[in-house]
Structure 1
Amino acid sequence: MTQESEEARTVLVVEDDPTINQALSDRLTAEGFAVARAVDGPGALTAFAEHAPDLVVLDLMLPGIDGLEVCRRVQAQRPVPVLMLTAKVEETDVLVGLGVGADDYLTKPFRMRELVARVRALLRRVDRAVELAAGREPALTVGDVVLDRAARRVHLAGAEVHLTPLEFDLLAVLAEQPGTVRSRESLMSEVWGWADARGTRTLDSHVKSLRAKIGAARVRTVHGVGYALEVQG
């Protein structure tokens, strides 16, 4: 991503701790992003409507309206990548966050350069999705699973399945080579834009959520290696 394109991107930072909020805003501004800020749930919804951000950095625990509900409401208005910040490490908390449309998460404390890398990776994913839609990529069919990559819609045995943006991208990468095991590193690189295996728990959480929606048997785990999409139906 070029510096020029980053300058056109607005990131909404929603964090009730004023020190963290200021630090995040200062770092993202220094990296060339426009930054809008909010310190609670109601303020986040107001700022979202006012600034139309390209990405939201969203703390889970907020006064007024919690981060999960904020995420639900903003995604209902307009799909936008959400990077959720949480002090909780339990997988159930992470999966609940992903289920309402959060694309990724960071557990506190985190390094600023890691957050910036995640923000850029999420924005690159959005850019790739736009390019695919513009090119009218043909549908992918794997057994009874059909992915319309241009419309970003998935049908399972004729019925539409609603996936989050990252669940769709993960399924699309696996569907390009059905039955072939894709390494965790390659999936992190292609879906999240990371060059290494950082955040593999994020990958595992998305796989678990994807299995719940399309059937566990369709996504095979090869322990220590990665995942494969199996032909069913």
Structure 2
Amino acid sequence: MMAALTRGEMCVKYLMFAFNFIFWLTGSAVFAVGLWLRFDERTINFFDEKGFPPLFFIGVYTLIAAGALMMVVGFLGCCGSIQESPCMLGMYFFFLLLIFAVVVAAVIWGFSNLSVVGEQVTQYYRATIEKYKETRADGLKETLSLAHYAFNCCGTGPDFEFTAETCPKREGLDEFIVKSCPDAIDEFFNSKLILIGGVGIGIAALLVFGMLFTMTLCCAIRKSREIV
């Protein structure tokens, strides 16, 4: 004879379902952001540019892979909790533990390499300007335009007038307030440090709660299926 789950255990079951539904939505958002960075008209040409910092590509593809994995795991958790399947919940717990380790590693990597990515992008930008001065190639002009619109900047300071044709159009007082691209790039990547840390800590906390709920529900299901 199998005992039914108690009200408290049923509450854990539906909390698990709600948690995993939110987790699935979060994974969908991460996946969408990764695809947006990969195929947005302002960044897609960066993937065709030779010499562009490889860490940028690594970050984008990591977002896509992580989002897809979170969607699969969220779906697995929803099914496992509703069907009260210890096997599916065990697999779900293993994936949560794996994702937790990846998140911790990703946050550490982000704090360690974000400034490096910014420096590489700045160096690539300066090199592109120098090549454009020499060749006036249309491809380099398009690359500069992409960078200027993406970071809302113009030139490196001394060459504002030289690069003006590739910069965002400004009106009124904004016309006299022009930020150099090295400064804008540095500000962009430094501002993401707090965001990366906050998102990483938030996801890690959710994963810990998910693992606790999973263990509690697994124990309750096994207990309810014992023969009395």
Q: Which is helix-richer, 1 or 2?
A: 2
Would you call these one fold, judging by a TM-score over 0.5?
no
Q: Which is strand-richer, 1 or 2?
A: 1
Q: Highest CA radius of gyration, 1 or 2?
A: 2
Please, what TM-score do these two structures have when normalized by structure 2? 0.22
Please, what TM-score do these two structures have when normalized by structure 1? 0.22
Higher relative contact order (CA 8 A, sep 6+): 2
